[in-house]
Structure 1
Amino acid sequence: MSAPVVDIWGSISPEPRAATPPAPEPHEEWPLNGGTAWVYYSPLNRRQLVRPVILSDGFSSGTSELDKLWHGLEENGDFRFISELHATGRDVIILGYNDRTVPIKDNADTAIDCIRRALAERVGRSKLVVGGFSMGGLVTRYALTKMEQDPTLPDHETGIHLSYDSPHHGAWLPVSLQAFVHFAADHWSEEPLVGESLRLFSGLLNSPAAKQMARWYISKADDTPAAAPERVAFLKELEELGSWPRSVRRIAVANGVDTGSGNGVKADATAVRGDGQTLTDTWLKTQAQGDQVVARLQKKSGEPLLVTTSGLPEIDGAPGGLFTLPLPDGSDPGSFGLAGLLMTFLRNTVDKDVIRTSCFIPSVSAVAAGDIADQKALYKPIAPDDSELDAFVCASRNEPHTTMTEELGAWIVNEIVATG
């Protein structure tokens, strides 16, 4: 049996995931400092860069896979985003990075390099549209903000900044899941089959970019959850730059609802429990308010470790984009389902009633409309005046993070066209 494969965007499975079909050959490929961009000209523009739209990749392991990004935008949802932009005369530039786990500002420098190249290649004076998906929205937000404040950088000449389910106010990965991954990696990182996946996922959790995005982080199973020092420093740097680009129209979409209606995950419920050859009565719970034991972790013949939290909101069930982990067979175990798979690979039996997924990017974070540490803010309807943005739209249901839908994609295209 092959080693399991895991990435934050993709899969964990006993078999390597099927290769993504190649995307259409780009009209141009731009080598950048720290990344690569693929350029797809609109058929209306005769192989000239006239109205550029730069779309940044998000967080995952290693180097961006632009084939996957193209398919995610064009073929894996119910809206052909690239084709629809092309039909309006927009040229699409998809931007990837050599390492998606490095500090956000490092990849922001790559985004700046891409913006400069687009300005140099552009025919005419149409303003750029710049944005991204998930972390890509933060990367480009930082890039544009820096370009406005750094006198050594050119004018970004951008009319719109867009973000697609980006964690402007932080992302959520259950503390119980973080604790289990660290616990398992400490004990079984050299285990055949599952050890590689444990090392990779633990490394992703501990990467600079993940620490900057996560609202609550723990570096080991018995840590107290808090914002990582890397996040505190990043937010301070962003605020010192001005927090947001000021000379652009700021728009965003969320894969969660704006009504305050949660996703149905109950607080303080046992999400997954495993027992068998390597674990004894090990379980993870969904997040509740107040003082809570969120996980019981016990190696066979070892002492139990109780993981506790205090003062966190009921965020697993909050409105927002759902944590996704699609497998090659089409299934999606989600966040807590990942723990169940790891328990199984470690030769344990997992209880059948698994709460598989949870909120990943709360709606209030995606549209910059409230503190995700605030229980009331998480679950109240979002009004336009609540947001730091100029315009936003939320999905009509809580759906998987960064899902490209006609509802959200068409709204973005209409906003771009209306702005000129």
Structure 2
Amino acid sequence: MSAPVVDVWGPVSPGARFSYPPAPEPHDEWNLAGGTAWVYYSPLNRRQLIRPVILCDGFSGGSSDLDQLWHGLEENGNYRFISELHGVGRDVIILGLADRTASITDNADTAIECIRQAVSERVGRARLAVGGFSMGGLVTRYALAKMEQDPALPDHETSLYFSYDTPHHGAWFPIALQAFTHYATDKWGDAPAIGPVLRQFSGLLNSPAAKQMARWHIEKAVDTPEQAPERVEFLMKLDELGGWPRNVRKIGVANGVDSGTGNGVKPDATAVRCDGETLVDTWLKTQAQGDQIVARLQKAGEEPTLVRTSGLPEVDGAPGGLFTMPSPAGDPGSFGLAGLLMTLLGNTVDPEFIATSCFIPSVSAVAAADIDDSKALYRPITPDHSALDAFVCAGRNEGHTTMTDELGAWIVNEIVAAE
């Protein structure tokens, strides 16, 4: 059984990864250490690499899938991003990663190799535009900063860095969801049918990349939420490189609003609850401030495990890109994933549930504030708050990395203006 995974390009349920129509054959393919670059020349450039734009994939399980990436860029929204870039004479290089759960710094080395090859194969002297989606924005941010600071590396010859709903100040994986996933894996990880699904998703949450991105992480259900050591180390390395590339224009977009208006999810609400043959009165709650029991987990015949948090902000309802996952009713959402796993374990999920939550708060996507600041999460964002030179937030809180005319067209215009 294939595991459902958190994916940059929208909901992926068991088997869905293989259902995308095939992408057009790339004009060139670069085999890189740690990844693959698929090159699509603009029809205006007669199969020459003249004005390269590098688009880096983000976080998910396993390796990047070209068909899925193409779908996300061209079909997963209302804006055909690659076609629009081709229309303004830009050559598109889609950077896929061999392991999307690997350390961001390791994948940054793959991005550096891709940038170097693009510079080497480019005809003329047009400078590059380099960026990525979700974690891909962190991968390319680190890569460009490293190329500027490491004297052994060449000039990146890049004029514009862009990020698309990237967790610059951290991502939010609900603690209740993390706890349930690890608890279920501990109890049923060896079961023939559901075990592989649980182990894969628990492993995804405990992967190097997830630990580096998550503002709060727990390895086991009973752990205290905090920054993982891997995240602390990553932030230290990024800081040693100056935090950002300095010789480029830095822009970004958020799939959440900048007005401070949340997504409607209330704090301390029961998000999902189930009873059945394997779980008894098991429920997860949305995050609230102060001391809180965010989950009650009970295997039939055993004592319950209570998951507690203290001092965390009300992140589930914050403005930002929404966590996209399949639920039992077909709705996307983080808590919907928990409901799906509960159902697969043979339980009945209450029909009244909260499916989704904030995944990348707007303040994180545009590098405007730390997401542990409760007031900043819900405060209107102004340009003076951001570490970016320019940014745009969506007109509504929508699915993480959803490609829209509102955000995609703005990035394309910025790429054209940067030349």
TM-score range, shorter chain: over 0.9
The aligned counterpart of 1:72 is 72
1:125 Cα deviation (Å)?
0.7
The aligned counterpart of 1:37 is 37
Aligned residues: 417
Structure-2 change in CA distance of 1:72 and 1:15 (3 Å): closer
User: 3-state SS of the aligned residue for 2:216?
Assistant: coil
State the one-letter code of the partner of 2:149.
Q
Structure-2 change in CA distance of 1:400 and 1:44 (3 Å): same
The aligned counterpart of 1:354 is 353
> Structure 2 CA distance, aligned partners of 1:17 and 1:234?
30
The aligned counterpart of 1:132 is 132
- Contact 1:272 1:284 (8 Å CA) reproduced: yes
- Contact 1:5 1:16 (8 Å CA) reproduced: no
> Structure 2 CA distance, aligned partners of 1:390 and 1:350?
46
The aligned counterpart of 1:6 is 4
User: 3-state SS of the aligned residue for 1:381?
Assistant: coil
Q: CA RMSD in A?
A: 1.4
TM-score normalised per structure 1: 0.97
- The residue correspondences of 1:295-306 to structure 2 (distance < 5 A) are 295-306=295-306
- Contact 1:41 1:49 (8 Å CA) reproduced: yes
State the one-letter code of the partner of 1:46.
R
> Structure 1 CA distance, aligned partners of 2:395 and 2:6?
25
1:194 Cα deviation (Å)?
1.7
Structure-2 change in CA distance of 1:320 and 1:367 (3 Å): same
- The residue correspondences of 1:193-232 to structure 2 (distance < 5 A) are 193-232=193-232
The aligned counterpart of 1:143 is 143
State the one-letter code of the partner of 1:32.
L
User: 3-state SS of the aligned residue for 2:183?
Assistant: helix
- Contact 2:179 2:221 (8 Å CA) reproduced: yes
Structure-2 change in CA distance of 1:261 and 1:65 (3 Å): same
The aligned counterpart of 2:270 is 270
User: 3-state SS of the aligned residue for 2:19?
Assistant: coil
Give structure 1 stretches of 5+ with no counterpart: none
1:6 Cα deviation (Å)?
1.5
User: 3-state SS of the aligned residue for 1:396?
Assistant: coil
The aligned counterpart of 2:367 is 368
State the one-letter code of the partner of 1:419.
A
> Structure 2 CA distance, aligned partners of 1:13 and 1:138?
26
- Contact 2:161 2:249 (8 Å CA) reproduced: yes
State the one-letter code of the partner of 1:66.
L
1:14 Cα deviation (Å)?
6.4
Q: Are 2:344 and 1:345 aligned?
A: yes
- Contact 1:57 1:69 (8 Å CA) reproduced: yes
Structure-2 change in CA distance of 1:15 and 1:250 (3 Å): closer
> Structure 1 CA distance, aligned partners of 2:56 and 2:15?
29
The aligned counterpart of 1:417 is 416
TM-score normalised per structure 2: 0.97
- Contact 1:131 1:137 (8 Å CA) reproduced: yes
The aligned counterpart of 1:408 is 407
- Contact 1:4 1:16 (8 Å CA) reproduced: no
> Structure 1 CA distance, aligned partners of 2:97 and 2:155?
23
State the one-letter code of the partner of 2:261.
S
1:12 Cα deviation (Å)?
6.3
1:11 Cα deviation (Å)?
5.2
- Contact 1:4 1:12 (8 Å CA) reproduced: no
- The residue correspondences of 1:7-406 to structure 2 (distance < 5 A) are 7-9=5-7, 13=13, 18-326=18-326, 331-406=330-405
1:193 Cα deviation (Å)?
2.5
Q: Structure 1, residues 355-384: CA drift from partner, whole Å, max 9, x if none?
A: 000000000000000010000000000000
> Structure 2 CA distance, aligned partners of 1:190 and 1:333?
27
Task: Tell me the percent identity.
Answer: 74
1:418 Cα deviation (Å)?
1.4
Q: Structure 1, residues 183-233: CA drift from partner, whole Å, max 9, x if none?
A: 000001122322111010000001000000000000000000000000000
Structure-2 change in CA distance of 1:4 and 1:32 (3 Å): closer
> Structure 1 CA distance, aligned partners of 2:14 and 2:318?
31
State the one-letter code of the partner of 1:172.
W
State the one-letter code of the partner of 1:34.
G
> Structure 1 CA distance, aligned partners of 2:278 and 2:31?
47
- Contact 1:294 1:307 (8 Å CA) reproduced: yes
User: 3-state SS of the aligned residue for 2:63?
Assistant: coil
Q: Structure 1, residues 83-138: CA drift from partner, whole Å, max 9, x if none?
A: 10011111000001111111101000000000000000001111100000000000
> Structure 2 CA distance, aligned partners of 1:281 and 1:14?
26
